[in-house]
Amino acid sequence: MVGAGNNLQFSTCLFYVLLMLSFALSVSNVADEEKKEKAFPISVLVINSLIMFCILLQVFGVKMMGDFQKYSLLIFFIVLILSFVLSIENVSDDEQENKSLPTIVLIVNTFVLLMVAFNIVKHYIK
């Protein structure tokens, strides 16, 4: 799902979109001067940066984590859950003025979670 290959699958593109949205949301939270509690956004930013660094190394042929494909589903769910929690935290914050980016991230994450739930149910019904 996350590896560097010649063919881009839908799940790979979806992962990259989630990663970029999560990265943008965490950067905007860390850069917000009025926000006092920044521990969680900084943690999400560090995790997203490490994942993007590993992906770049994989693209350039450096095998940092060995078989990166083995951990792709776990990394997908980590990014999805962290992004979902961060967007819910921002949307529910009454002191935050501009909630457009957290709302967009929350909507995308909700659709992805619904797609994952649908695929899990479809897999177990067969």
| Helix %, strand %, coil % of the chain (to 5) | 75, 0, 25
Read off the amino acid at residue 57: L
pLDDT digits (tens, 9 = 90+) for 59-101: 787 776 666 677 788 888 999 999 999 999 989 988 888 889 9
Residue 63: phi, psi to the nearest 5?
-90, 80
**What mean pLDDT do residues 105-121 have?**
91
Tell me how far apart the alpha carbons of residues 64 and 93 are, in angstroms, rounded to a whole number.
38
The pLDDT, as a whole number, for residue 1 is 47
More confident call, 97 vs 27: 27
* Cut 0.85: pTM above it: no
- Of 78, 84, 97, 91, the C-alpha closest to 34 is 97
